[in-house]
Structure 1
Amino acid sequence: MVLVRPAYDCDVLVIGGGIVGLSTAYAITRAAPGTRVTVLEKEPGPARHQTGRNSGVIHSGIYYRPGSLKARYAVRGAAEMVKFCAEYGIPHAVTGKLIVATDRSELPRLHALVQRGRENGIPVRELGGSQITEYEPEVRGLAAIHVGTTGICDFVAVARQLAHGSGAEIRYGTRVVRVDRRPERGVAVLTASGDVVRGRVLVNCAGLHSDEIARLTGDDPDVRIVPFRGEYYELARPELVRGLVYPVPDPAFPFLGVHLTRGIDGGVHIGPNAVPALAREGYGWSTVRLRELGATLTWPGSWRIARRHWRYGAGEMRRSLSKGAFTEAVRRLLPGVSEGDLVPTAAGVRAQAVLRDGTLVDDFLIREGPRTVHVLNAPSPAATASLPIGREVARRALAVL
């Protein structure tokens, strides 16, 4: 009897054409030349969601718990991202940033960040209130720290370069509707157009839909992606801000608070807040998808978040619904700003993985199943850290080929 081996369209099939999926494809083809990689992306081009809808900051890694994947990948990834941008002529700048305490209750947290930065190997300069104006003449605060390794870049251009440089076959406009996994025969994916794509290994980098893709493969990730929308304004008087200015974050939340970011185009973005989105790609209150909203509301962790953090959430909702309230938050850092200085601009949605007990997953979460690797939580600083994350995911995928 002759055994007929299944015909594979590729060795590694990546779902998701954001910066993490494209970095994974790039890393695979460099680590194992000749490996056939196909990337399936439902949008007509790369980086249409989290990658292309953020503040464009190359994060230093100062916020993250020493030894965590976020800390290790951010510190390493920031240096690599600057080098990558320089090599390929992608717009970028190492600007440094200020983290500013505006209330005495924030001073202990600011000092803790200094210690955390040093543990992560990040150079930090402590500033008194009067020294803040050396960097930002219009910003006021009681104290601050300056983090010199923070920068900005065009992450969409980075994603395009990764796509071009990977040598992978990239199929845009290709939405996955079904996955058939057989450990002895690999993975077959059915697309919305009726095509079937077969691979030896599937890598799930689907971002906002990563938990759904995991379930399609038959793996139960026991987490749910709960989408949080971050709303931004653009500053009509960009001359008020020279670089990047952040408040002291609350360590109980994985969000950094409303901050000021001068981008590579010279404009200044203000935001984001963090409010529940009514759809996975709910970039405004008018976008509601009942099936996706139902999935959020039936997840026990969602209600536990609400009970635990309702005061924080109420403040974020107030800033979403009231431009005056949003301006009030900005004025804590930038007293000279007025409500008329804030011009609405595009929002983003964060794919936040939430455990059943209501824990907001704070680190990168990568899980494996038979013939599968799932990236289930890749929040900020995922874009900054995308090159080392891609190598790690690639390592895991190649190990099961």
Structure 2
Amino acid sequence: MRDVIVVGGGIVGLATASEILRRRPGADVLVVEKESEVAQHQSGHNSGVIHAGVYYAPGSLKARFCREGAARTREYCTEKRIPFSDTGKLVVATSTVEVERLSDLTDRARANGLTVTPLDGGALREREPRVAGLAALHVPSTGITDYSAVCRALASDISAAGGAVRTSTVVTAIDEASAAVTLTLRENGWETLESARQVIVCAGLQADRLARMSGLNHGRDTFQIVPFRGEYYRLPARRNDLISSLIYPVPDPDLPFLGVHLTRMIDGSITVGPNAVLGFSREGYRKGAVHPRDVATYATFAGMWHVARTHWRTGLAEQRDSWSRRGYLELVRRYCPDLTVDDLLPAPAGIRAQAVLRDGTLVHDFLVRRTGRTVHVCNAPSPAATSAFPIAQHVVDLLEPRAQS
């Protein structure tokens, strides 16, 4: 019997396995990942931003873990010689409503312990000549890195510490007894059993399904993972000098999305995005991909109908702009009028795993649930990559009292 099995080879699962081995040298730890490599979903399909923690409710897990995680991410990248850059970020207001929201955002950022600087339109232009707005908030502690490289380094750390990372391995059942948890695993067409004293599930886009296997996702506490496609464009190389920092719009406070932004990637290129379009496949990154089971799952979920009634106008606008480059471009031209439709070149999409509760609440914070011998990370969208190290500490803290039982 193993000590711990971690399900999920994204950054949260890998950081958690590494944290267990740091605290318990010599422990028998196995990470199982259904894809052929680690970081194949949210961890490898994102903007690469090291978030500062501007947006999150003071005292929330996101606010606490993001700031701590940003420092830990930089330390780890330095240790492993993974490139990162402290680009800073500007959150730009382009309307009077957004100026009011920006003021509230400034208060929230300071409540979260961040040093930020409000700018008027003139100061914004001086800092970023090709960016236009009525006001902006400068956040110097935002940066960028390559989270896929971080995941590969963590996987190497796990192996070096005596753990194992097994890819192309799908969990089909979870059976928890008083003394152990047994996983049914499908690998190369064969089913095998693996038992452990404790199991941690960091399943991202499949989090609700694996929670249900453990008996955690029923009744009034039911949550559903709803996929939101984040579609990106990249700018041509000749536009790589367009901006010197990251440029974000002011987000809608009622939604857990940050809006279409301009990101200087670690290789010097610039991406545009993501938007937030309701997805018809949890893991279908190709535009127009449809997975009938995924659609049926949320189409029959009461919480999704509550979301649709509340946010149908936003949803329709996102779908329209998804299919129209000119519509998408207008989202960016509000704060970067120099761009043209010819500047938007194809780039890979991402998919956000967004937990929705039965009453239609879009879960804003990280969500962790547990049974006697399992811990499930149920909602870990952005800024989970930035926050992975403190999330891992939190999860292992939940295991510790039962580690010897």
Q: TM-score range by the shorter chain?
A: over 0.9
* Whole-angstrom CA distance in 1 between matches of 2:127 and 2:400: 46
Amino acid across the alignment from 1:176: V
What residue number does 2:319 align with?
317
* Whole-angstrom CA distance in 1 between matches of 2:127 and 2:19: 38
What residue number does 1:301 align with?
303
TM-aligned CA deviation for residue 286 of structure 1: 2.9
TM-aligned CA deviation for residue 210 of structure 1: 0.9
* Whole-angstrom CA distance in 1 between matches of 2:178 and 2:126: 60
* Whole-angstrom CA distance in 2 between matches of 1:188 and 1:269: 40
2:177 to 182, 199, 212: 182
Confirm or deny: 8 A CA contact 1:277 1:283 kept in the other structure: no
What residue number does 1:12 align with?
4
TM-aligned CA deviation for residue 397 of structure 1: 2.3
What residue number does 2:58 align with?
66
Amino acid across the alignment from 1:297: A
* Whole-angstrom CA distance in 2 between matches of 1:35 and 1:286: 44
SS in 1 for 2:386: coil
Per-residue CA deviation, residues 220-277 of structure 1 (Å, 9 max, x unaligned), is: 2510101100000001222212220000011000000000000001110100110111
Are positions 1:170 and 2:180 aligned together? Answer: no
Unpaired runs of 5+ in structure 1?
A: 1-7
- Residues 121 and 96 of structure 1: is their aligned pair in 2 closer, same or farther, counting only changes over 3 Å? same
Aligned runs of 1:120-135 on 2, under 5 Å?
120-135=112-127
Confirm or deny: 8 A CA contact 2:9 2:33 kept in the other structure: yes
* Whole-angstrom CA distance in 2 between matches of 1:265 and 1:185: 46
* Whole-angstrom CA distance in 2 between matches of 1:185 and 1:82: 37
Confirm or deny: 8 A CA contact 2:65 2:387 kept in the other structure: yes
Confirm or deny: 8 A CA contact 2:180 2:195 kept in the other structure: no
Amino acid across the alignment from 2:22: R
Are positions 1:357 and 2:354 aligned together? Answer: no
* Whole-angstrom CA distance in 2 between matches of 1:296 and 1:172: 28
Quick one: percent identity of the two aligned structures? 50
2:26 to 28, 34, 42: 34
SS in 2 for 1:194: strand
* Whole-angstrom CA distance in 2 between matches of 1:177 and 1:288: 22
What residue number does 1:50 align with?
42
TM-aligned CA deviation for residue 287 of structure 1: 1.7
- The root-mean-square deviation of aligned C-alpha atoms, in Å, is 1.1
Amino acid across the alignment from 1:230: G
What residue number does 1:83 align with?
75
Confirm or deny: 8 A CA contact 1:178 1:191 kept in the other structure: no
* Whole-angstrom CA distance in 2 between matches of 1:399 and 1:34: 19
* Whole-angstrom CA distance in 2 between matches of 1:331 and 1:209: 36
* Whole-angstrom CA distance in 2 between matches of 1:12 and 1:103: 52
What residue number does 2:212 align with?
215
Per-residue CA deviation, residues 107-159 of structure 1 (Å, 9 max, x unaligned), is: 11101111111111100011110111232110000000100100000111111
Range with bigger deviation, 82-91 or 12-21: 82-91
What residue number does 1:5 align with?
none
What residue number does 1:148 align with?
140
Amino acid across the alignment from 1:26: S
Confirm or deny: 8 A CA contact 1:180 1:187 kept in the other structure: yes
Amino acid across the alignment from 1:142: L
TM-aligned CA deviation for residue 191 of structure 1: 2.3
Unpaired runs of 5+ in structure 2?
A: none
What residue number does 1:398 align with?
400
What residue number does 1:227 align with?
227
What residue number does 1:157 align with?
149
Are positions 1:262 and 2:259 aligned together? Answer: no
* Whole-angstrom CA distance in 2 between matches of 1:226 and 1:309: 14
What residue number does 2:201 align with?
204
Confirm or deny: 8 A CA contact 2:226 2:353 kept in the other structure: yes
What residue number does 2:390 align with?
388
Range with bigger deviation, 30-39 or 348-357: 30-39
Amino acid across the alignment from 2:118: E
SS in 1 for 2:385: coil
Range with bigger deviation, 232-241 or 42-51: 232-241
Confirm or deny: 8 A CA contact 1:278 1:285 kept in the other structure: no
Are positions 1:194 and 2:191 aligned together? Answer: yes
SS in 1 for 2:252: coil
Number of corresponding residues = 393
Confirm or deny: 8 A CA contact 2:51 2:386 kept in the other structure: yes
* Whole-angstrom CA distance in 1 between matches of 2:213 and 2:299: 20
* Whole-angstrom CA distance in 2 between matches of 1:190 and 1:140: 53
* Whole-angstrom CA distance in 1 between matches of 2:180 and 2:347: 47
Q: TM-score, normalised by structure 2?
A: 0.95
Q: TM-score, normalised by structure 1?
A: 0.96
